[in-house]
Structure 1
């Protein structure tokens, strides 16, 4: 049955998983907050994902890096309270990508 499905054009490999499985930042989680000085948030997120990083939607114990811009607000406060999240600037994030 699987061979028949494959012959009909069904993709049998999980290409999405393979695409994001590697990279220098594989397994590292990011969240962006506030107004970034030079990047659009969507561009910054795409840059992290291109290196294998994962974007989270909120601050939690699973978050590795919070990238803060101007007027960061409650996400920054929550990250400081957790004390397990590395809080960095956009410039530090860009250096991380170049490393």
Structure 2
């Protein structure tokens, strides 16, 4: 099966994120969220309304693609790295960061 386009992945993530049961956070992501003062609602909005600004990359440890969803939320440019095994609805949040443009 051909790899989905960036736009198709973006739509897939946005749709799957509307059901929070599809979203799983790894411990590293939770630690980074605490450290960077980024909360669950900010991450959820980023996944539901954000865009993929960078090219998705294959993950070395698990099947699927690493996608960085980005969105400006509550005064912060939030980046959420999510592992997507398209077409499965599960979204694994790997890390969360503040994205700097420059």
What TM-score do the two structures reach when normalised by structure 1? 0.24
Which structure: greater helix fraction?
1
What TM-score do the two structures reach when normalised by structure 2? 0.24
Flag the structure with more relative contact order, 1 or 2, with Cα contacts below 8 A and sequence separation at least 6: 2
Which of structures 1 and 2 has the bigger CA Rg?
A: 1
Which structure: greater strand fraction?
2
